[in-house]
């Protein structure tokens, strides 16, 4: 399988950046150096004729810092106040950085209703299409200041899920999730030294969901479950998806050039096209994972590409 052939031709791309990617963990302040590099990468994608949509975390952290809170907001009112203050400041920084390249941006704040209500969904899609046709970069977040779902219940609004819903809404070709993890493993690498990295996922099945932290998992990996759920939404809608570590912001360039960075979840269409080609790799890898889990020790042997 040629990753470059699959990924380099993508036209409409949704990129989600997590809080840890664009802020300093200790203070919640924006990492301006990294954010500036991120913007420059997006400009280069635009110069190549790509359409780019950004789903950006960070509003609550930026707001917390601006308000001088020395603790994480723990009430609903505090979280929403931080989001209301932080979102405007975050957009101001984005606008300033994009303006250096004469690139217009637009703030798009969505609620769950934006993608579940048919009329709202239609309007949101038309807005995105209009912005992209006018060569504007939409910067998306959930409307944290009024949304109870995200901040209290997480039903819609972890931004991995939001990004997947945006990718589905705009019929994106590719979704990139930048977070604080390299990609998906067969187990939690922090607690299991024998965890194997998965480079490519052809099909999201029950066993894979268990690895990600499903209810019947023997070795869940925390936040990976939301990312796999996001992959289910995106790949069903026809988009390929990559999970990569945003610590190296240039991972975006590596992904687009076809390098084996992160975990690639193939869309259903691509999965079916490559099913026969990748069948031997998948079978061998699954056998090794099964043996390893049973024996609880490292299993020697060629990995055949780490394809699930």
Q: Could you tell me the domains of the chain?
A: 3-268 (3.40.1160.10)
The b/e string for 61-86 (b: 16+ C-beta within 10 A; e otherwise) is: bbbbbeeeeeeebeeeebbbbbbbbb
pLDDT at 210: 81
Residue 63 to residue 61: CA distance in whole angstroms:
5
Predicted confidence (pLDDT) per residue in 19-72, tens digit: 889 988 777 789 999 999 999 999 999 999 999 999 998 888 889 888 988 888
**If pLDDT is split at 50, 70 and 90, which confidence band does 2 have?**
confident
Average the pLDDT over 216-223 and give the result.
Answer: 40
Residue, of 290 and 221, whose pLDDT is higher: 290
Looking at the predicted structure, is the pLDDT value of residue 98 above 80? yes
Average the pLDDT over 196-223 and give the result.
Answer: 70
**Tokens (6 digits) for 264:** 């690639």
**Tokens (6 digits) for 221:** 């990996």
| Distant-in-sequence, close-in-space partners of 22: CB < 8 Å, separation ≥ 6 | 30, 31, 34, 35, 38, 56, 57, 58, 246
Task: Please check whether residue 216 is in contact with residue 243, taking contact to mean a CB–CB distance below 8 angstroms.
Answer: no
Task: Please check whether residue 13 is in contact with residue 270, taking contact to mean a CB–CB distance below 8 angstroms.
Answer: no
Looking at the predicted structure, is the pLDDT value of residue 294 above 60? no
Task: Please check whether residue 60 is in contact with residue 84, taking contact to mean a CB–CB distance below 8 angstroms.
Answer: no
Alpha helices in 10-117 (DSSP H): 19-22, 32-47, 59-66, 76-99, 113-116
Looking at the predicted structure, is the pLDDT value of residue 289 above 50? yes
Task: Please check whether residue 101 is in contact with residue 137, taking contact to mean a CB–CB distance below 8 angstroms.
Answer: no
| Distant-in-sequence, close-in-space partners of 165: CB < 8 Å, separation ≥ 6 | 115, 156, 233
The rounded mean pLDDT for the chain is 84
pLDDT at 288: 64
Partners of 81 in beta bridges: none
DSSP 266: P
Predicted confidence (pLDDT) per residue in 225-241, tens digit: 899 999 999 999 999 99
| Distant-in-sequence, close-in-space partners of 12: CB < 8 Å, separation ≥ 6 | 50, 51, 53, 132, 170, 171, 172, 173, 174
Residue, of 250 and 217, whose pLDDT is higher: 250
DSSP 30: B
């Amino acid at each position: 399988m040629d990753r470059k052939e699959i990924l380099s031709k993508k036209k409409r791309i949704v990129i989600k950046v997590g809080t840890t990617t664009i802020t300093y963990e200790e203070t919640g302040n924006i990492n301006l150096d990294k954010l500036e590099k991120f913007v420059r990468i997006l400009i280069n994608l635009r110069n190549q004729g790509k359409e780019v949509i950004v789903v950006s975390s960070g509003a609550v952290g930026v707001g917390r810092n601006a308000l001088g809170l020395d603790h994480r907001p723990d009430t609903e009112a505090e979280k929403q106040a931080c989001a209301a203050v932080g979102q405007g400041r975050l957009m101001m920084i984005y606008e300033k950085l994009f303006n250096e390249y004469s690139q217009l941006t637009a703030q798009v704040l969505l609620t769950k209703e934006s993608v579940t209500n048919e009329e709202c969904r239609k309007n949101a899609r038309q807005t995105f299409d209009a912005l992209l046709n006018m060569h504007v970069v939409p910067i998306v977040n959930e409307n944290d200041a009024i949304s109870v779902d995200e901040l209290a219940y997480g039903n819609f609004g972890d931004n991995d899920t939001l990004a997947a819903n945006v990718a589905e809404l705009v019929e994106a070709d590719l979704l990139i999730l930048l977070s604080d993890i390299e990609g998906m493993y067969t187990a939690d690498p922090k607690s299991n030294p024998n965890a194997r990295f998965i480079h490519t996922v052809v099909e999201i099945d029950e066993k894979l969901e268990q690895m990600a932290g499903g209810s019947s998992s023997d070795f869940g990996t925390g936040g990976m479950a939301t990312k796999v759920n996001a992959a289910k939404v995106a790949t069903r809608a026809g988009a390929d998806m990559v999970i990569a570590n945003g610590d190296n912001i240039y991972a975006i360039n590596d992904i687009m050039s076809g390098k084996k960075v992160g975990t690639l979840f193939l869309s259903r269409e691509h999965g079916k096209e490559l099913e026969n080609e990748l069948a031997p790799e998948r079978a061998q890898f699954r056998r090794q994972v099964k043996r390893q889990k049973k024996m609880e020790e490292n299993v020697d042997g060629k990995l055949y590409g780490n394809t699930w």
